[in-house]
Homo-oligomer: A and B are copies of this chain.
Amino acid sequence: MSRNVLDNCNPVSWVNGEPASLVSINDRGLAYGDGLFETIRVQAGMPTLFDLHCKRLCSGAAVLRIPFDLEGFKREVGEFLQAQKLPEGVLKAIVTRGSGGRGYNPVGCENPRRILSFHPLPAYKGSPGLSGIRLHECKTRMGDHAFAGLKHLNRLENVMARSEWQGSDCLEGLLLGLDDRLVEGTMSNLFMVSGSTLLTPDLGRAGVNGVCREFIQEHAQGWGLKVETGDYSLEDLAGAEEVFVCNSVNGIWPVIACGDLNWSVGSVTCTVRDRVQEVLNA
């Protein structure tokens, strides 16, 4: 295999259950972004929030009509993690529609391809979960999509939004919709605090239905909190008592600044952060 086809820094990876770091150029994930992915925090050798990741993968596969064997996937993830023998890190799972001919028609693509890879936990200076982060306000807008909510492989807007800043001054970017409403972070979901209510943008038109967001929605009541979804503006953000972003790898990051706006790391955010951390560090 020629050098330029390979990479210098391949993670440990499996393709369809076997060690491999290459896929066919006919893969529909490459051709059209025709597939889904999950990014799962691994702790003590086990995938965290795994049921929610599996649930999202299944519902995404159903929408895209990709035949997906959940039990086989769970078994494969278990075997893969056992083979890694690494206690913590990030498991990335891609499920594409598999190989196909030229052209959009997916007919005949009956063998989805599973790609598992293991990566180190991302390293950040300081403790962003404790001290909070600054948000870059992205110029790239998140469009309105027919398949909003799904964690599919069509992520060009996230890429271009994330390319807008470098360095560690901002650890996340705020994505607005085409109509300037709040949508999400480039790799996280957004929450605002109003009393004991958590406000988070509705994802019916744009954004990824994050697993950590889902976990918060499921458990908020038990923490004495309520979650409301809706369309919110930058004015709503300015008026928020507390702001945080969340994902299933980093947990909760309090937001302390976005442009001219400033917030403190508040008590509601800390409550949610600690509850989520219990699960991610299990």
Interface contact B99-A34, CB-CB below 8 Å:
no
A23 and B20 in contact, given A94-B30, A106-B162 (Cβ under 8 angstroms):
no
- Cβ of A21 within 8 Å of any chain B Cβ, yes or no, is yes
Residue of B9, B32, B141 near A153 (CB, 8 A) is B32
Interface contact B146-A143, CB-CB below 8 Å:
yes
Interface contact A156-B23, CB-CB below 8 Å:
no
- Cβ of A102 within 8 Å of any chain B Cβ, yes or no, is yes
Cα distance, A170 to B236, chains bound together (Å): 48
Q: Please, which residue of chain B has its CB at the minimum distance from the CB of A13? A: B25
Q: Quick one: copies of this chain in the complex? A: 2
Residue of B13, B90, B94, B148 near A31 (CB, 8 A) is B94
- Cβ of A53 within 8 Å of any chain B Cβ, yes or no, is no
- Cβ of A127 within 8 Å of any chain B Cβ, yes or no, is no
- Cβ of A267 within 8 Å of any chain B Cβ, yes or no, is no
Cα distance, A194 to B107, chains bound together (Å): 36
CB distance from A53 to the nearest CB of B (A): 16
- Cβ of A71 within 8 Å of any chain B Cβ, yes or no, is no
Query: Can you name 25 A-B residue pairings with CB atoms under 8 Å?
Result: A2-B16, A2-B18, A2-B20, A4-B18, A5-B18, A9-B26, A23-B23, A30-B153, A32-B153, A32-B154, A65-B163, A90-B102, A102-B117, A103-B122, A104-B159, A104-B163, A104-B186, A105-B162, A143-B146, A144-B178, A145-B145, A146-B160, A147-B157, A147-B160, A152-B156
